[in-house]
Amino acid sequence: MDDSQSIDLAAMLCSRLCHDMLSPVGALNNGLELLAMEDDPEMRRNVMALLEQSATTSTNKLKFFRLAFGAAGGFGERVDVHEPRALIDALVADKQKVEVNWAIDAANLAKPAVKVLLNFAQIAIDALVRGGTLDIGAEMRDGNCEIVVRAAGPKIGFDDNIGKALDGSLAREELSSRTAAAHMIRLLAEQSGGGLQYARTDETLVLGAILPEGEGLIG
């Protein structure tokens, strides 16, 4: 990837972040405007609850994107699995129809593996348009980190271009803010000497990655 392509990818990721942050930040702004105009104690309590919810959602999303997209300088080369687990649990906290099941046997994961895990989870959550189950697994085997994320529900909403970005068949000019994260984790996997794959049906989406453990991987 040359400098121009790197800049384009960074811009697309920023666009995705801004898109996802617009709703909770907008709700904060609306809540503050209501609070300034409202005198009724009960209504003010309701507005304060809205502000608290929006602030929590904004904070959770920023923490997620910091580790899923950014350099996450506050972490070392390996990240305790409780960190991505907490971020993903926070993402689905307000999605009552999504149940998360965990199967991770490692105490920590390399930063590139965490990025893949988080982005897989977000893709899978977005695919569960009518709710369902989200199964997340990771294990170390023969010097590789193997990651599997499975979404199962009554309807899977999955953009084929995201799949093409994951397997490398999406044309460069077709990249967008919607597919940039998938493209990014494919690059991460390739740099580590690993790869990504996916399979989908009308009711299931399975995302998989094999990432060799190695030194000097970006993250």
pLDDT digits (tens, 9 = 90+) for 156-169: 999 999 999 999 99
Residue 219 has pLDDT above 90, yes or no: no
Q: What dihedral angle (degrees, nearest 10) is formed by the CA atoms of 78, 9, 164, 208?
A: 10
**Beta-carbon-side half-sphere exposure of residue 71 (alpha carbons within 13 Å):** 2
Distance of alpha carbon 41 from alpha carbon 154, whole angstroms: 43
Q: Identify the pLDDT of residue 34.
A: 87
Residue 38 has pLDDT above 70, yes or no: yes
Bridge partner residues of 150 (DSSP)? 135, 206
Buried b (16+ CB within 10 A) or exposed e, 107-136: ebbbbbbbbbbbbbbbbbbebbeeebbbbb
Radius of gyration of the chain (CA): 19
Q: How confident is the model at residue 8 (pLDDT cuts 50, 70, 90)?
A: confident
Other CB atoms within 10 Å distance of the CB of residue 215: 6
Residue 183 neighbours by CB distance under 10 Å: 24
pLDDT for 72: 61
| Torsion on CA atoms 13, 75, 59, 89, rounded to nearest 10 | 90
pLDDT at 216: 41
**Distance between CA atoms of residues 200 and 191, nearest Å:** 25
For range 16-26, the mean pLDDT: 89
Closest C-alpha among 145, 167, 149, 166 to residue 211: 145
Residue 74: predicted pLDDT: 61
| Per-residue pLDDT, 2 | 58
Average pLDDT, the chain: 90
Residue-wise pLDDT for 47-94, tens only, equals 899 899 899 989 999 999 999 998 765 677 899 999 999 999 998 987
Distance (Å, rounded) from C-alpha 163 to C-alpha 129? Answer: 17
pLDDT at 204 over 80: yes
Q: Pick from 131, 141, 143, 198: which is nearest to 168 by CA?
A: 198
Residue 200 banded pLDDT, cuts 50, 70, 90: very high
